[in-house]
């Protein structure tokens, strides 16, 4: 057999070892992003030299950042079963933490691909730390590299994941982020309705509703209410009407958009709506299908009732996160039009 015929996983019959790359041929291209961090602790003397850029080998932070970027781009060459990816973003930042006499390394990597960039982020952070080690060891051999971990990853069928121990944003960073996002839904009165027999009866936890609540909070909306109702048309209609009376300008419903006999959300909202915005449903299915083909089976859509915009999303937490994220910059304009604004 020549080398072009080796389509089977590599195996060694003597040692019974078995290796293969994961086949991603059937996956769809989606936006992927990941962040990894780690720290290196040192003596007071070494920290002062790093801070003042007086190490014998020069500016350690700048060189470590370059080393991390270069390493992230070479990940597939270092890890045998890692897929080579066309990286669109690699950011490596080294921050001094004087209180702990340490340097914190942050590596963020992004791409549009069929598989994630977790290993690229971890490789970038790890090599940046090793570069710092190499530059500092001549003045302090008792260095400690620690807490290297993946903080978060976005994209793919699993959506967003956070490391349970990670603190992704400092208070300063969070404040800056909120100030940047403030204009998006600032002052908009919003509500969330989780539609599920099992959740409303206490048999399972609501995982989708809190995603929408967090999204509203992130974009500085005014949250009026978060409700739980069973898959019953009359109850759904009653709750939605009450929320509109309370002044809700934007309502997100989660659940009841599938093909099951108890999935009645869309029919319930159609019966009381002024208008259906079918383009939003088409857009949601198109975006969702990039991650999960079964998104085409969802009847997600949007409605207008009087001057309230209603987004009817699936009951999956990932679908809610991806749906709201994809609609982020459409929603303000949709609200503007719903309230009588022009199309300009």
For 31, left (φ over 0), alpha (ψ -120 to 50), or beta? beta
User: 2, 59, 134, 173: which is the annotated catalytic residue?
Assistant: 134
Torsion 292-297-298-304 (CA) sign: positive
Pairing of strands 17-19, 10-12: antiparallel
225 has catalytic annotation: no
User: Is the distance from CB of 63 to CB of 131 less than 8 angstroms?
Assistant: yes
- Contact status, residue 67 vs residue 127, Cβ threshold 8 Å: yes
Q: How far apart are CA 224 and CA 48, in angstroms?
A: 51
H or E stretch including 105?
strand 102-113
Q: What is the number of residues in the chain?
A: 344
**Unique residue bearing structure tokens 């085409």:** 296
Point out the residues that are catalytic: 134
């Amino acid at each position: 057999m020549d080398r072009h015929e080796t389509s089977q996983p590599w195996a060694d019959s003597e040692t019974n070892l078995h290796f293969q790359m994961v086949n991603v041929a059937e996956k769809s291209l989606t936006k992927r992003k990941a962040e990894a961090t780690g720290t290196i602790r040192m003596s007071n003397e070494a920290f002062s030299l790093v801070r003042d850029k007086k190490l014998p080998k020069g500016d350690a932070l700048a060189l470590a950042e370059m080393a991390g970027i270069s390493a992230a781009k070479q990940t597939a060459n270092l890890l045998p079963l890692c897929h080579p990816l066309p990286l669109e973003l690699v950011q490596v930042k080294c921050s001094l933490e004087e209180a702990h006499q340490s340097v914190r390394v942050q590596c963020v990597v992004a791409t549009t691909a069929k598989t994630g960039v977790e290993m690229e982020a971890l490789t970038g952070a790890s090599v940046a730390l090793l570069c710092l080690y190499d530059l500092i060891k001549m003045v302090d051999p008792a260095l400690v590299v620690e807490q290297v971990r993946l903080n978060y990853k976005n994209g793919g069928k699993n959506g967003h994941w956070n490391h349970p121990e990670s603190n992704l944003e400092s208070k300063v960073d969070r404040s800056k982020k909120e100030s940047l996002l403030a204009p998006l839904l600032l002052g908009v009165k919003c509500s969330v309705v989780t539609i599920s027999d099992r959740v409303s009866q206490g048999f399972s936890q609501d995982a989708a509703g809190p995603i929408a609540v967090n999204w509203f909070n992130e974009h500085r909306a005014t949250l009026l209410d978060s409700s739980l109702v069973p898959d019953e048309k009359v109850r759904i209609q009653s709750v939605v009407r009450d929320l509109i009376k309370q002044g809700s300008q934007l309502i997100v419903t989660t659940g009841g958009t599938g093909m099951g006999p108890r999935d009645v959300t869309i029919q319930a909202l159609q019966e009381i709506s002024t208008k259906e915005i079918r383009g939003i449903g088409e857009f949601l299915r198109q975006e969702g299908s990039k991650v999960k083909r079964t998104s085409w089976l969802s009847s997600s859509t949007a409605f207008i009732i009087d001057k309230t915009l209603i987004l009817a999303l699936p009951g999956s937490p990932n679908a809610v996160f991806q749906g709201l994220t994809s609609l982020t910059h459409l929603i303000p304009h949709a609200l503007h039009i719903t309230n009588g604004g022009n199309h300009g």
